[in-house]
Amino acid sequence: MEKSPLVHNRLRWHSSLAKLTVWSFLFLGLILIFFFRSPSSNPLQQDPSRRSLRTYNWGGPAWEKRVRSSASVRSRNGISVLVTGAAGFVGTHVSTALKRRGDGVLGLDNFNDYYDPSLKRARQALLERSGVFIVEGDINDSALLRKILEVVAFSHVMHLAAQAGVRYAMENPSSYVHSNIAGLVSLLEVCKSANPQPAIVWASSSSVYGLNTKVPFSERDRTDHPASLYAATKKAGEEIAHTYNHIYGLSLTGLRFFTVYGPWGRPDMAYFFFTRDILKGKSIQIFEAANHGTVARDFTYIDDIVKGCLAALDTAEKSTGSGGKKKGPAQLRVYNLGNTSPVPVSGLVSILERLLKVNAKRDIMKLPRNGDVQFTHANISLAQRDLGYKPSTDLQTGLKKFVRWYLSYYSGGEKAAS
Ligand SMILES: NC(=O)c1ccc[n+]([C@@H]2O[C@H](COP(=O)([O-])OP(=O)(O)OC[C@H]3O[C@@H](n4cnc5c(N)ncnc54)[C@H](O)[C@@H]3O)[C@@H](O)[C@H]2O)c1
């Protein structure tokens, strides 16, 4: 039997409605899957450096008031400094020293979990007690950086936020790109567009000397064969900084730190985990180079590094550009900040044994090719001449202070070092 056109139309309408319903459910399902998929399958949540961009709250009148108060200068010739990586080892010490002499200081840190974040929180509490506020955020967040420089016209930026350590590159290579390359560019972009442009002092590393065999390392030496991804990103950071100096007139000073140690130090560094493991009775791995060659480091005490950082800030000239336009050549400097007396790692262990009154269980191993170099030794004559830099703490004295801090910080077991 022939169907009437009306019935025909109704049937077609019904089938379209059914199709539409099916597609709507499918679409809705996809949206639900996208929003509610498990955290472990979300790449944004797997990558700690990216996760850090997602969760921070900033802004509002109360926040701006805290920012202004922390950054207010209290001494006559004081400077105002934005310290990135302020909850880090060096950042905490530099911020404290600046605040102590009456400078305005604001911290910025993303509190990532590369090492125990509770140590970063404890440093934050220390800084809060001396009146330094740390803004929680990532240097890749340009809107946050712009806001900070809008609220306070900082004269200086001390840039210490970075992905440190050489061995972690095996686990999380992108974190080096995120913080040491992309983060640096993000910071320099915002600084170059600021009016006034701040002068920037930033941390590079002795690792840029890579596998060089000519010692001591001088700023004039070649830096073109890095031994780790960390070193490669630090080297690239120097090139990027030079570019911003050249194109936009930003005043830039790079400081190549040599193995910094001391109280509130980093748990991923040998002097720190040797102390922990010796106290626990665990064996420690001591590396030696080929043919029983000595592995040695130019260990530099944190107070000496802080003096170098402050001197670099105090001698930094103003940037010459404004609002993204260069008006003339600007200062560009690079300095080694080391101790000038390398100590074999086995010597470091002997000092720790004496200070801890415990014999270490030494496990001698071949130096692996995963980023560690055999030897570092700084030539500091340039920093001596321009910054009056003169390290004054030997390893024995500095480690004594570190061990005293370590024992008091981890005493009682409530903060047992993991
Ligand atoms: N300690 C040393 O021996 C040594 C040697 C050579 C160079 N350096 C350099 O000195 C600087 C400070 O080192 P440190 O020993 O204090 O390391 P640290 O890891 O203790 O401090 C770095 C801080 O930066 C923060 N940070 C990292 N990425 C960030 C990001 N994207 N946004 C915001 N904050 C971020 C971290 O949370 C951390 O608190 C680094 O640039 C490091 O590479 C240190």
Whole-number pLDDT of residue 56: 87
Give, for ligand 1, the residue of 47, 120, 205 to mutate: max count of ligand atoms closer than 8 Å to Cβ.
Answer: 205
Whole-number pLDDT of residue 160: 98
Task: Please report whether residue 76 resides in a domain.
Answer: yes
CATH, residue 330? 3.40.50.720
Whole-number pLDDT of residue 11: 46
Whole-number pLDDT of residue 46: 42
Whole-number pLDDT of residue 18: 59
Q: How confident is the model at residue 6 (pLDDT cuts 50, 70, 90)?
A: very low
Q: Residue 107: CB within 6 Å of ligand 1? A: no
Give the rounded percent of residues in the chain with a pLDDT score beyond 90: 80
| Residues 367-370: contacts with CB under 8 Å, at least 24 apart | 367/287, 367/288, 367/289, 367/290, 367/295, 368/287, 370/166, 370/167, 370/170, 370/228
For the residues 205-222, what does the mean pLDDT come to? 95
Q: How confident is the model at residue 28 (pLDDT cuts 50, 70, 90)?
A: low
User: What is the enclosing helix (H) or strand (E) of 12?
Assistant: helix 5-36
Tell me the pLDDT tens digit for each residue of 124-154. Answer: 999 999 999 999 999 999 999 999 999 999 9
230 part of the active site = yes
Task: Please report whether residue 105 resides in a domain.
Answer: yes
Q: Residue 111: CB within 6 Å of ligand 1? A: yes
Tell me the pLDDT tens digit for each residue of 65-85. Answer: 999 999 999 999 999 999 999
Task: Please report whether residue 85 resides in a domain.
Answer: yes
Ligand 1 center to 112 CA (angstroms): 10
Tell me the pLDDT tens digit for each residue of 266-305. Answer: 999 999 999 999 999 999 999 998 888 899 999 999 999 9
Number of domains in the chain: 1
For the residues 3-17, what does the mean pLDDT come to? 49
Give the rounded percent of residues in the chain with a pLDDT score beyond 70: 85
Q: Residue 339: CB within 6 Å of ligand 1? A: no
Domain interval for residue 88? 48-258+301-338+378-391
- Cα(219)–Cα(334) distance, rounded to whole angstroms? 7
Catalytic residue, from 115, 168, 209, 230: name it: 230
Q: Residue 159: CB within 6 Å of ligand 1? A: no
- Look over the chain and give the mean of its residue pLDDT values, rounded to a whole number: 89
Ligand 1 center to 160 CA (angstroms): 5
Ligand 1 center to 224 CA (angstroms): 23
Whole-number pLDDT of residue 82: 99
CA 417 to chain CA centroid, Å, is 21
Q: Residue 257: CB within 6 Å of ligand 1? A: yes
Task: Please report whether residue 317 resides in a domain.
Answer: yes
For the residues 314-343, what does the mean pLDDT come to? 96
For the residues 237-254, what does the mean pLDDT come to? 98
DSSP 270-307: HHHHHHHHHHHT-EEEEEEBGGGBPPEE--EEHHHHHH
Q: How confident is the model at residue 174 (pLDDT cuts 50, 70, 90)?
A: very high
Angstrom CA distances, 311 to 94, 156, 302, stand at 11, 13, 14
Q: How confident is the model at residue 1 (pLDDT cuts 50, 70, 90)?
A: very low
